[in-house]
Structure 1
Amino acid sequence: MNTAGRITGIGQGGHITLAHGGGGTAMRALIDDVFLQAFGNDPAVAQEDQARFPLSRFTAEGDRLAFTTDAFVVEPLEFPGGDIGTLAVCGTVNDLAVGGARPVALSAAFILAEGLELATLRRVVASMAACARAAGVRIVTGDTKVVPRGACDGLFITTTGIGTLPAGCDISIAGGRVGDVVIVNGTLGDHGAAILCARGDLALDTAIESDCAALNGLTQALLDAVPDVRAMRDATRGGVAGVLTELAEASGVTVRIEEDRLPIRPDVAGLCELLGLDPLYLANEGKLVAVVPAEAAERALAAMHAHPLGRNAAVIGTLAEIPASGRRGDVRLVNRLGGQRVVTMPMGEQLPRIC
């Protein structure tokens, strides 16, 4: 985050003004007093327009570089279990981790609306810093822009992440094989349900919190136990249904999941029943879908159960051949009575602005 000098003292209260995006002293003070202090960047290094890394750092840990980017526009900015800042860090870390990469560093670009409370911005940035530390990554560069009041809802964040990919790691959504098993690391739909309740439109009194979490520790534990994980994907927008339909299509298999095995919190299930929603389609921000060989399922579950983010991990289904009457990309849910229904690719978001 570039700054031409150290200027502090914007205060704890107040609001973002257009001057904070004008490139002058107000913007320099904002960067210095809010972002650099939270992210722990050296002000001298932060005067540059880019972060710099020795190549040896990456070549020592892998033979390829993993790179991803994502934008976050959640409403409300703060919700039970997290805020837009934790989403921004966890979402980008997780996109790297489910590909088998070890996240190293992030950039963060902030679009701030005129009138945003500085106290809100400080809380979000503090959440980002704490989440990055917990995930073992650094936020090393970024940008800020200020737009007029009403041009965005308070705050949008875009994060980009880089990581190292170990030699021989070739996890792919197209890697599933007939006979493999499908595992999730915990309860489904928590984030989508938490955001829906946090918007206050339903006047519901619930204790549902977002599952927002960085999964790189869990994915590393899983890969240590089962190096031949076939596929992993974090189940964000579109939920588990979206991941499974992509898996079935890309891998050329039918995915069969069992309703009785789906780990769903009773309050989330009740909310979905009340509103006519399907928890398979609700967003998650700390859940992944992993596909492993059947003979490795017990090892995978043991490794996940030993990690705090995998205590409720469960096998929910298997990959099967496409039947003569079926088609590529089918996902079939077997209910408690033995009947089946086809789980289709989501046509659109059940809830907009969830991440």
Structure 2
Amino acid sequence: MNDMARPARLRDTRVTLSHGGGGRAMRDLIDEVFASAFRPDGMEDQARLTNAALAEPGARLAMTTDSFVVTPLEFPGGDIGTLAVCGTVNDLAVGGAKPLWLSAAFIIEEGTEIALLRRVVASMVAEAERTGVRIVTGDTKVVGRGAADGLFITTTGVGVIPPGRDLGANLIRPGDVAIVNGVLGDHGATILAARGDLALSTDLQSDCQGLGHLMEAVIAAAPDTRAARDATRGGLASALNEMAQAASVGIEIEETALPQRAEVAGMCEILGLDPLYLANEGTLVLFVPEDQAQAALAAMRARPEGAEAAIIGRALGDHPGQVRMRTAFGGSRIVDMLVGEQLPRIC
């Protein structure tokens, strides 16, 4: 972009209302914080997108949008920018799409540090490179103090579903095997500890990561993969309930098979939380036919995003729409949808 060659003019250390007023201050903020990092193709009011995958007969576009309002904005293992990219990429990937493009809209509270914005943008650029997407367009708005809790980000993602690929929770059949790619609850527990409201000392980090490359590896190894969901708000329990209801199947999981850190389990026990409902930002659950389960598991474990993958249960023909867990003591309990919210402002 030609604008990048001019001398830097942004001298403010904090965002002011003038940075949202449409004039020179706003242009300086956009040029020197956002455009210089994202490097869009021109500064038009829209992105113009081309990709060879769109020309394949039978290819379909996939689109998703999400808003991110996490507190605190920076936490061990990531920040709101990392979340914005990973969350949107993952929503595309679990539907079988190859994520390609993102838009990013920023609602910035007056008084927010410019240095914080630069760090968040740098995180977004780094994560976009890792996941293979481009941030191609966006928007900024500035609101008064107390109106936005620092920074909100809304991202929209566009990807392409290759011809012949069809994933959906309604395709799950009795006998299909449930697999998760990693430990449960790290993000929710990390955010809780990072808020500093409780006297908790922990080395936990968020599991925030993009899952597009992992999904491609799984589908290559297990081409009849039925469906996948990322276990974000509401955790694994809510994701499984949504899938059970969509497919009209029962789902049974094994408590002893669930991968989780002792630190997360201990924190949940102290605070009266259930790790099945804690949010994740780099964890998915998928269902594959039983004869492809080991191939899918091996493909996941061969990648860093799935190194701790585990088979946790299966779909059943009885108790349709319901999720049950066989406990470590040999009993069984219903795992229902989350009622309310265990932890607000986590993603």
Quickly name the TM-score band, shorter chain normalised: over 0.9
Does structure 1 residue 235 correspond to structure 2 residue 235? no
Cα distance between partner residues in 1 of 2:180 and 2:220 = 17
SS at match of 1:244: helix
Shift of residue 11, structure 1, vs aligned partner: 4.3
1:177-196 aligned at under 5 Å gives the runs 177-196=173-192
**Does the aligned pair in 2 maintain the 1:182–1:290 contact within 8 Å?**
yes
Pair 57,315 (structure 1): closer, same or farther in 2 beyond 3 Å: closer
Residue type at the aligned position of 1:130: A
**Does the aligned pair in 2 maintain the 1:7–1:25 contact within 8 Å?**
no
Cα distance between partner residues in 2 of 1:69 and 1:62 = 23
Residue type at the aligned position of 1:47: M
Match of 1:138?
134
1:147-162 aligned at under 5 Å gives the runs 147-162=143-158
Could you list the per-position Cα deviations for residues 132-157 of structure 1 after superposition, in whole angstroms to 9, with x for gaps in the alignment? 01111100000000001111101000
Could you list the per-position Cα deviations for residues 151-178 of structure 1 after superposition, in whole angstroms to 9, with x for gaps in the alignment? 1101000000000101111100111100
Cα distance between partner residues in 2 of 1:114 and 1:160 = 24
Does structure 1 residue 30 correspond to structure 2 residue 29? yes
**Does the aligned pair in 2 maintain the 1:79–1:195 contact within 8 Å?**
yes
Shift of residue 9, structure 1, vs aligned partner: 2.2
Pair 5,261 (structure 1): closer, same or farther in 2 beyond 3 Å: closer
Does structure 1 residue 334 correspond to structure 2 residue 326? yes
Shift of residue 215, structure 1, vs aligned partner: 0.4
Pair 220,340 (structure 1): closer, same or farther in 2 beyond 3 Å: same
Match of 1:58?
54
Could you list the per-position Cα deviations for residues 37-66 of structure 1 after superposition, in whole angstroms to 9, with x for gaps in the alignment? 11123xxx4321000023645224961000
SS at match of 1:318: strand
Cα distance between partner residues in 2 of 1:60 and 1:115 = 48
Percent identical residues: 61
Residue type at the aligned position of 2:108: L
Cα distance between partner residues in 1 of 2:4 and 2:297 = 52
Shift of residue 293, structure 1, vs aligned partner: 0.4
Residue type at the aligned position of 1:333: M
Match of 2:249?
253
Shift of residue 122, structure 1, vs aligned partner: 0.5
Match of 1:303?
299
Pair 202,252 (structure 1): closer, same or farther in 2 beyond 3 Å: same
Of residues 86, 90, 95, the one that matches 1:90 is 86
Could you list the per-position Cα deviations for residues 204-235 of structure 1 after superposition, in whole angstroms to 9, with x for gaps in the alignment? 11001000000001000001101110010000
1:1-355 aligned at under 5 Å gives the runs 9-11=8-10, 14-41=13-40, 45-54=41-50, 56-60=52-56, 63-322=59-318, 327-355=319-347
Cα distance between partner residues in 2 of 1:61 and 1:117 = 48
**Does the aligned pair in 1 maintain the 2:3–2:31 contact within 8 Å?**
no
**Does the aligned pair in 2 maintain the 1:107–1:140 contact within 8 Å?**
yes
Shift of residue 36, structure 1, vs aligned partner: 1.2
Q: TM-score, normalised by structure 1?
A: 0.94
**Stretches of structure 2 lacking an aligned partner (at least 5 in a row):** none
**Does the aligned pair in 2 maintain the 1:10–1:29 contact within 8 Å?**
yes
Cα distance between partner residues in 2 of 1:250 and 1:10 = 54
Cα distance between partner residues in 1 of 2:5 and 2:111 = 24
Cα distance between partner residues in 1 of 2:182 and 2:344 = 23
Shift of residue 296, structure 1, vs aligned partner: 0.6
Residue type at the aligned position of 1:273: E
Q: TM-score, normalised by structure 2?
A: 0.97
Could you list the per-position Cα deviations for residues 276-313 of structure 1 after superposition, in whole angstroms to 9, with x for gaps in the alignment? 11111000000000100011111011100100010100
Cα distance between partner residues in 1 of 2:278 and 2:4 = 46
**Does the aligned pair in 1 maintain the 2:10–2:25 contact within 8 Å?**
no
Shift of residue 258, structure 1, vs aligned partner: 0.5
Residue type at the aligned position of 2:306: G
Cα distance between partner residues in 2 of 1:124 and 1:12 = 19
User: Larger deviation: 337-346 or 4-13?
Assistant: 4-13
Cα distance between partner residues in 2 of 1:288 and 1:33 = 36
SS at match of 1:286: coil
**Stretches of structure 1 lacking an aligned partner (at least 5 in a row):** none
Could you list the per-position Cα deviations for residues 109-150 of structure 1 after superposition, in whole angstroms to 9, with x for gaps in the alignment? 000000000010000000000100111110000000000111
Pair 7,61 (structure 1): closer, same or farther in 2 beyond 3 Å: farther
SS at match of 1:111: strand
**Does the aligned pair in 2 maintain the 1:6–1:32 contact within 8 Å?**
no
Cα distance between partner residues in 1 of 2:145 and 2:284 = 37
